Amino acid sequence: MALRRFRADLHIHTCLSPCGELTMYPRAVVEKARAAGLDIIAVTDHNSAENAAAVGEAAAGTGLTVLPGLELATEEEAHILGLFEAGTALGELLAIVYEKLPDIPSKRSFIDDQVIVDAEDCVTGFNPHCLIGATRLTVYDTVDLIHRHGGMAVASHVDREAFSIISQLGFIPPDLKLDAVEVSPLLSFDEARAAFGPLSPFPLVRFSDAHRPEEIGRASMDFFLAKPTLEEIRKALAGRDGREVRPA
Ligand SMILES: [Zn+2]
Ligand SMILES: [Zn+2]
């Protein structure tokens, strides 16, 4: 089967993330992703995925594939990305995550920053949960939860001094069934490979963790796939069936 190169940035926040800029609306995300030469993106808001379908809809007909996802904060305050096949309904998973978030009194100013939008960038609501909090799920529970819903689990920005599995645990547990380990754009891929390759039994990837439109695509990977699906990305990370992944 003929393989094609798909440039992917699989760690992008929207206006739903409390720390994501309000300008991260679906159409802006899609426009910036195309301008940055991306073929596949994943929408990964903190502890939620309620804008992912709207970004997918906004991308219809543009040639951009949008994978739904989220960035879970574990009990240990380590961030782990859950990435799913396009079209996956994540309602059941989100209900579990919301139930495990801190039950703090809702502050209006806080909720105002957790904007749910539709594909036309219209505000349809505000997420009332404490999305910036850590769940009561351990790193093992989190990876298991992602896998049970058919997703891929990627440890976020392991080079960062906070909220990463290495900053919180001191190491990457080799028995944690991660599908990949991400480094931030602060390091080049070669620097990351030198620093984290020996510490990681899992494949390394480097994505943008964009919170602002201009950050989209500042780090990405080139996947050589038959089609732009999570299943194909999974094969590339495992080096199966001739699929490959290289730093962009
Ligand atoms: Zn993070
Ligand atoms: Zn992030």
- Mean pLDDT for each consecutive 10-residue tract of the chain (248 residues)? 94 93 94 98 97 97 98 98 96 97 72 89 92 95 98 97 94 95 96 91 96 97 98 97 96
Query: What letter does residue 48 receive in the DSSP assignment?
Result: B
What is the predicted pLDDT for the residue at 101? 94
pLDDT at res. 83: 98
Among the listed residues 9, 7, 59, 2, the one whose alpha carbon sits nearest the alpha carbon of residue 185: 9
Kindly give the distance from the C-alpha atom of residue 119 to the centroid of ligand 2, in angstroms, as a whole number. 21
CA of 213 to the centre of ligand 2 (A): 14
Whole-number Å distance, alpha carbon 49 to ligand 1 midpoint, is 14
Q: How far is the CA of 73 from the centre of ligand 2 (A)?
A: 10
CB 36 within 8 A of CB 217: yes
Nearest ligand, measured from the Cα of 10: 2
Please give the distance, rounded to the nearest whole angstrom, from the Cα atom of residue 1 to the centre of ligand 2: 34
Task: Please give the distance, rounded to the nearest whole angstrom, from the Cα atom of residue 44 to the centre of ligand 1.
Answer: 9
* Extended beta strands in the chain, E state: 4-12, 40-46, 65-73, 79-83, 115-117, 123-126, 152-155, 180-183, 204-206, 221-225, 244-247
Smallest Cα–Cα separation from 220: which of 198, 197, 188, 194? 188
How many angstroms separate the CA atoms of 152 and 179, rounded? 6
- What is residue 21's predicted lDDT score, i.e. its pLDDT? 87
Contacts of 2 (CB under 8 A, 6+ apart): 226
What ligand is nearest to the CA atom of residue 168?
Answer: 1
